[in-house]
Amino acid sequence: MNASVAIQSLPKAADDEELIRIVDEVIDYIKSTGLNYYVGPFETTIEGDYDELMDIVKECQHIAVRAGAPSVSAYIKVSYRPEGDVLSIEKKVAKHHAG
């Protein structure tokens, strides 16, 4: 795993319910990729190969538009280490979610 991406999808929507429905479709797509991911209240983080993640980021925009958004904005954060592994979601947050 040489990269991780955090994406916040911001589709234009008529109301909060429509916004949540469209974002949920984007998250369902991310889940369908089979990659490790973490859904937070503002963004979703995905781990994997850099090129595959860039394709996923691109497709997330298309998913939002196909779900009914007339436009979509997104904030993207990328951690990329071509010659090694990036820190995993587990290493970054597990200690904060222990019961």
Q: For 10-19, what is each residue's pLDDT tens digit? A: 999 999 999 9
Closest of 30, 45, 56 to residue 92, by C-alpha? 45
Q: Which residue has the tokens 């090694």?
A: 84
Q: What is the pLDDT of residue 84?
A: 85
Q: What is the pLDDT of residue 99?
A: 66
Query: Does the pLDDT value for residue 93 go beyond 90?
Result: no
At 88, list the tokens: 């995993």
More confident residue, 35 or 92: 35
Q: By the 8 A CB rule, do 72 and 62 touch? A: no
28-40: burial string, b at 16+ Cβ within 10 Å, e else: ebbeeeebebbee
Q: What is the pLDDT of residue 91?
A: 87
More confident residue, 88 or 65: 65
DSSP 6: E
